[in-house]
Chain A
Amino acid sequence: MTTATPALSPRRYFGWSTDHKVIGVQYLVTSFFFFLVGGAMAGMIRTQLLAPDSTLVSAEAFNRLSTNHGSVMLFLWILPVLAGLGNYLVPLQIGARDMAFPRLNALSFWLLVPAGLLMLASFFVGAAEAGWTAYVPLSISGPDGQTLWALSVILLGTSSMMGSINFVTTIFTMRAEGLTFWRLPLFSWSMLATSILVLTATPVLTAGLALIAMDRLVGTLFFSVPAGGDPILWQNLFWFYSHPAVYIMVLPAMGAISEIFPVFARKPVFGYRMIAVSSLAISLLGLTVWAHHMFTSGMDPRLRVPYMISTMIIAVPTGVKIFSWLATIWGGKIRLDTPMLFALGFISMFLIGGITGVFLAAIPVDLHVHDTYFVVAHLHFVLFGGSVSGAYAALYYWYPKITGRRFDERLGKVHFAANFIGTNLAYLPMFLAGLLGMPRRVVNYDPRFTELNQLASLGAFLLAVSVLPLLYNMIVSWVNGPKAGDNPWRARTLEWQGSSPPPVHNFDQPPVVTEGPYDYGEAEARSMMPSPAAAGD
């Protein structure tokens, strides 16, 4: 569509650019690289765990791998891949020319690169080995890589806060004429809810990491037990961010699949306002639950019950979303294209993560399963079955928007099948292992858990292989794929109303919005068209 536009040469992706679309793609590609790195670490972990007394990986190397697997996957894959989608899509969805602060936007991306390299480079000086949770006092001793790890996460937190300031400002001030909040697409709603959460929670983690870094570098004693430091303080600072971080990592994925269901069921979103409001509810409630990670720690026992209640209540807005999605596809005209398959996969797997979250909130059950493989299974169903499925769904759904090309649908379906089977195979056995007594983060384990671990490893290897059709499809289709047309899915949100890929200025005339984003089955005449683009074709 836009081959004639010189400004859209592929070279622009390799340098400083303030175009939100370029930055979005830079985020997506960079985070995908780190996804492969984190996945390689997971592969080594699961190979080690094929046998209970395997010595393939030393205990020290294992702790470094598991610590950095978690950190890379969360901070360098899921967070930035969602930030990339937000960058690319929010201005297009709200009819803006770019983000509110384009240079700040570029800076947030360019902080991600050195932060990621810093984390990987820490392997040369002895990588962090205290878990991604970096509990003190273990994280105060330990190799130099622990300091690099802390600095890297501080940079990533800063990048994330800058990005969020940008999203909030952009969504509040740059919506097109007629685009009221009740006409805002649900993905943009979710980015708004997420950004508010980032701005509230991330400074706390960043400050806590600064304390750790100072303890390690300049000899302060914030967390030194002999000097009167309190190890529980770190847990409060850490989880005040890191529990909301789960919602930061899952809300945009929920937003993405909320876009996909109406398009592939040809029906309006059921309960649009409830879905939008439930995102906000989840982010506000999400700030009140952090200490449920500390039921077994030295927290005041009287405080446990309020945290249990607030945690369980989050199941309510989450349930509202799931039932609204089901009602959206109920009675629809469903097409099972790859984005839809991944969105459906999101529901079916995230559901397991959500339900087991209530088990973990129930204090007496948590006192048994906390810090076991039950938690490992739960968090992977939420973050891999949920967030990553959502990210995959979004990548396939907006691929024609970003590239102007169609991907190979058969390869997409192969990827979906391998991913779906692999996820369940890898993580379902872990629930049982945890319940039966297997702690997390162990390099060796009781031989009674051998079969469960071998199943999990098999699933993990399938997941590793499942990335190949995705990679091949994304690269080859960008070069060779058939032209997609501007709106191949016949979607009604604003980002699909212009050309694909979009021209540099997004919209040549500011679009005017006169109806909701999901009015499928309503009057055929589109009143939400932007003024025709002059550039491009």
Chain B
Amino acid sequence: MKERTLLVVVLVTALLVVAGIWVAQNVNLMPAEASTRAALVDQLFRAMLGLAAVIFLLVEGLLLFSVLRFRQPRGDDGDALPVHGNRALEIVWTLIPALIVIVIGFYSFRVLAASEIREENPLVVNVRSRQFAWTFEYPGTSVISSDLHLPVGRQVRFLITSDDVIHSFWVPEFRVKRDATPGQMAELLVTPTREGTYPVRCAELCGVGHAAMGLSSRVIVESDEAFQAWLTQAAALPADPIEAGRTLFKRYGCPACHALADAGAAGVVGPALDSLADPNGPHAHAHGGMDIRALVEQSVLDPSAAIAPGFADGLMPKDFGTRIPANELAILVDYLVAQK
């Protein structure tokens, strides 16, 4: 009898281990692996998933087996054999889980340390967040972009902050996020390894535009040549005023909150900006005798001066006047009033 019990225990353990290994090797629940960190995190995650599968199957298996096997027969009112405990068993099921979490803890620490190693000559990108948009600045250039362009294979040192409330910069394909906290500068190291276009999410509830903020920006990982070409092109404004205006509209993050067909923008936090100048259009109410160009400029510089019906005051940042140079503001306003 004792030998049989031992045999069953060994057999079940072996089966569970095989199942765990199978799960660790074959079950992939993660999105694309696009950074060195992602590869490390996924190894850890898969190892944990294998262990989790073993524990899950063991506990649910014991539960189901007990329920099926140890039922009170009809008409039997008696109690079962009293067993109050078993010291050896209790020590085993205290020590083994302790051992497992120590191993996972140690492994996690190794992965954490490995994913935060500094490499030489990183590309520095300033991540600025505000309600409700990301802007990415490339120090040493004049480039400010609402899409994040990165060269593949070079470590990026993100310096992350917020102008208002807490946001959280998250690229699922990089397997990492970092909170953007006002008054603080957070550092995050990522080495992209796979070319492609991935979403930038906002992971911390930041207000009514929180969902929109997580759907508006992208990260484009590209070859170094393509990245350099983009950087050069992005630093200059196109000669055509409409194209230049469209570029500025995106550069300053306007699409996160405003819809504008010409710029492919679909934000819903603020009013749509199509046909601003049409005296019979949806913005006719706001004209109020005011020159449309002056009204648009005023709305960029001092958003509280005139509030479109159906929208709350205080949603739009009030500091665009200090962030947009006068010549660019003129181009942007011209572009907006030119929309039919």
Instruction: Give the contacts of B70-107 with A (CB-CB under 8 A).
Output: 70-73, 76-86, 89-90, 93-94, 97-98, 101, 104-105
- Cβ–Cβ < 8 Å partners of A230 in chain B: 183
| Nearest B residue to A371, CB-CB | B203
Per the bound structure, the CA–CA distance linking A517 and B67 in Å amounts to: 23
Known: A59-B209, A442-B214, A521-B82. A326 touches B168 (CB 8 A): no
Q: In the complex, which of the residues B66, B80, B105 contacts A308, with contact meaning CB atoms closer than 8 Å? A: B105
Which of B76, B89, B97, B186 counts the most A-chain CB atoms under 10 A from its CB?
B97
B-contact 0/1 string along A416-447, CB 8 Å cutoff? 00000000000000011001110111111110
List 11 interface pairs A-B (beta carbons < 8 Å), by A numbering.
Answer: A267-B81, A298-B186, A308-B108, A312-B105, A316-B97, A364-B37, A368-B175, A436-B30, A436-B31, A446-B215, A521-B82
Contact A271 B72 (CB under 8 A): no
Cβ contact within 8 Å between B104 and A267: no
Q: Is A268 touching B181 in the complex (CB atoms < 8 A)?
A: no
* B62 beta carbon closer than 8 Å to chain A: yes
The 8 A CB mask of B173-195 against A (1 = contact, 0 = none) is: 10111110111101000000000
If A267-B81, A298-B186, A313-B101 touch, does A131 touch B205 (CB 8 Å cutoff)? yes
Segment 309-338 of B: residues with Cβ below 8 Å from A: 314
- Residues of chain A with a CB closer than 8 A to B78's CB: 266, 333
Question: Is the CB–CB distance between B83 and A331 below 8 Å?
Answer: yes
Give Cα A83 to B60, complex, Å: 30
Chain B positions within 8 Å of A364 at CB level? 37, 40-41, 44, 108, 111-112, 115, 175
Q: Is the CB of A296 within 8 A of B179?
A: yes
Q: Does B211 contact A (CB under 8 A)?
A: yes
Contacts known (A316-B101, A444-B212); A138 close to B67, Cβ less than 8 A: no
**Cα distance A133–B110 in the bound complex, in angstroms:** 31
Interface presence of B305 (CB below 8 A): no
Asked if B205 contacts A330 (CB within 8 A), the reply is: no
B166 at the interface (CB under 8 A from A): yes
Q: Which residues of B contact A336 (CB under 8 A)?
A: 67, 71
| Contact B80–A327 (Cβ < 8 Å) | no
A122 on the B face (CB < 8 A): no
- Alpha-carbon distance A339/B59, docked complex (angstroms): 20
Known: A59-B211, A271-B90, A437-B201. A359 touches B48 (CB 8 A): yes
Q: Which of A111-119, A197-205, A209-217, A346-354 contacts B (4 or more CB under 8 A)?
A: A346-354
Does A316 contact B59, Cβ atoms closer than 8 Å? no
* Bound-state Cα–Cα, A141 to B164, Å: 11
Known: A60-B208, A326-B59, A333-B76. A225 touches B70 (CB 8 A): no
CB within 8 A of B55: which of A137, A231, A273, A355? A355
Tell yes or no: A406 within 8 A of B by CB.
no
- Tell me if A138 and B108 are in contact (CB < 8 A): no
Q: A267-B80, A327-B83, A436-B31 are in contact. List 11 more A-B contacts (CB 8 A).
A: A59-B209, A63-B210, A130-B205, A266-B78, A269-B84, A327-B89, A359-B45, A364-B37, A365-B44, A435-B30, A521-B81
Tell me whether A520 and B80 are in contact (CB under 8 A): yes
Answer yes or no: A464 CB below 8 A from chain B CBs: no
Identify which of A334, A437, A439, A519 gathers the most chain B CB atoms within 10 Å of its CB. A439
Q: How many A residues touch B, CB cutoff 8 Å?
A: 90
A 310-332 binary contact with B (CB < 8 Å = 1; else 0) = 00110110011011101101111
Interface residue? A5 (CB, 8 A): no
Is A267 in contact with B83, judged by CB distance below 8 angstroms?
yes
B56 and A355 form a contact (CB under 8 A) = yes
A232 touches B (CB below 8 Å): yes
Alpha-carbon separation in the docked complex, A133 to B60 (Å): 33
Assembled-state Cα–Cα distance A437/B30 (Å): 9
Judging by beta carbons under 8 Å apart, are B29 and A432 in contact?
yes
A191 at the interface (CB under 8 A from B): no
Q: Is there a chain B Cβ closer than 8 Å to A344's Cβ?
A: yes
Decide if A196 is an interface residue (CB 8 Å cutoff): no
- Interface flag for B152 (CB, 8 Å): no
B165 sits at the interface (CB 8 A): yes
> What's the minimum C-beta distance from A417 to chain B, rounded to whole angstroms?
14
A324 to B59, CA, bound (A): 11
Question: Is A439 in contact with B44, judged by CB distance below 8 angstroms?
Answer: no
Contact present for B80 and A265 (CB under 8 Å): yes
- Give chain B nearest CB distance to A185 CB in angstroms: 15
From B72, B94, B176, B204, contact of A371 by CB (8 A): B204
Q: Which of B105, B165, B199 contacts A138, CB < 8 Å?
A: B165
Tell whether A298 pairs with B70 under 8 Å between CB atoms, given A268-B82, A309-B105, A362-B108: no
CA distance A296 to B170 in the complex (A): 10
Assess the B178–A296 pair: CB atoms within 8 A.
yes
Distance between A104 CB and nearest chain B CB, rounded to angstroms: 37
B206 within 8 A of A: yes
B111 to chain A, nearest CB (A): 4
Contacts of A296 in B (CB 8 A): 168, 177-179, 203
> Across the interface, do A446 and B199 meet the contact criterion of CB distance under 8 Å?
yes
Q: Which of B52, B177, B214 is in CB contact (< 8 Å) with A368?
A: B177
Q: B81 to chain A: which residues have CB within 8 Å? A: 267, 331, 521
Interface bits A503-514 vs B (CB < 8 Å: 1, else 0): 000000000000
Please give, as numbers and ranges, the residues of chain B lying within 8 Å of A270 by CB-CB distance. Answer: 83-86
Roughly how many angstroms separate A313 CA and B103 CA in the complex, as a whole number? 11
Which listed residue (B41, B97, B108, B177) contacts A319, Cβ 8 A?
A: B97
A535 at the interface (CB under 8 A from B): no
**B80 and A331 form a contact (CB under 8 A):** yes
CB of B153 closer than 8 Å to a CB of A: no
A315 and B269 contacting across the interface, CB-CB below 8 Å: no
A443 (CB) vs chain B CBs: closest residue: B211
Distance in angstroms between the alpha carbons of A331 and B312 in the assembled complex: 65
Which residue among A359, A364, A370 has the maximum number of chain B CB atoms within 10 Å of its CB? A364
The reply on B202 being an interface residue by CB < 8 A is: yes
In residues 257-293 of chain B, which contact A (Cβ within 8 Å)?
A: 268-269
Q: Which residue of B lies closest to A518 (CB)?
A: B84
Which residues on A sit within 8 Å (CB–CB) of B269? 59
**Cβ contact of A320, chosen from B62, B84, B94, B182, cutoff 8 A:** B94
Assess whether A297 is in contact with B79, with CB atoms less than 8 Å apart.
no
Residues of chain A contacted by B98 (CB below 8 angstroms): 313, 316
Which A residues are CB-close (under 8 A) to B182?
137, 225, 231
